[in-house]
Amino acid sequence: MHGLSMHGLSMSGLPMSGPRDGDGSGDGGLQGERTRLAWVRTATVLAAGGLGGAGVALRAGAPAGIALLFVPAVFCAFLLLTQTGVRYRRAQEALRRGRPLDDRADVLIAWVGTIAVTAGAVASVLAGVGR
């Protein structure tokens, strides 16, 4: 069975979770809100990791290059936060239509930010920052 049926089955043919609207046309649950909040938490953690890591590196007298490794994380956090409204509307539309959400760009941005924080942290440790 492919696609969304009148019986509340997902694209994979498995039952959909969460309550349905009375007419069966949409999702009455809070999936969209939970997804939005998860992306906001991701952006907040990236911003905190980037700003905190750069601040610690600079206060500890690390070379500016180490602090610069954290900057992409802050930029990625900014991108994720500015896209919150658009992403929320896309998620709601996908839920309403029973279609998968293409969030590959957002996931890539989150990964780049995570790698930036990790690279900055590894470089800080290797450079002996804070010893």
Asked, for residue 87, whether it belongs to a domain, the answer is: yes
Closest C-alpha to 105, from 88, 117, 87:
87
The 10 Å Cβ neighbour count of residue 49 is 21
Write down the residue that tokens 């500016």 correspond to.
Answer: 64
Which residues constitute the domain of residue 115?
A: 31-126
What does pTM read for this prediction? 0.72
Asked, for residue 20, whether it belongs to a domain, the answer is: no
Q: What's the rounded Cα separation, in Å, for the pair 20 and 129?
A: 54
Three-state SS letters, 29-89: CCHHHHHHHHHHHHHHHHHHHHHHHHHHHHHCCCCHHHHHCCHHHHHHHHHHHHCHHHHHH
pLDDT tens, residue by residue, 54-102? 999 999 999 999 999 999 999 999 999 999 888 888 888 888 888 888 8
Asked, for residue 47, whether it belongs to a domain, the answer is: yes
Asked, for residue 13, whether it belongs to a domain, the answer is: no
Asked, for residue 36, whether it belongs to a domain, the answer is: yes
Asked, for residue 14, whether it belongs to a domain, the answer is: no
pLDDT tens, residue by residue, 32-62? 788 889 999 999 999 999 999 999 999 999 9
Asked, for residue 16, whether it belongs to a domain, the answer is: no
The total number of structural domains in the chain stands at 1
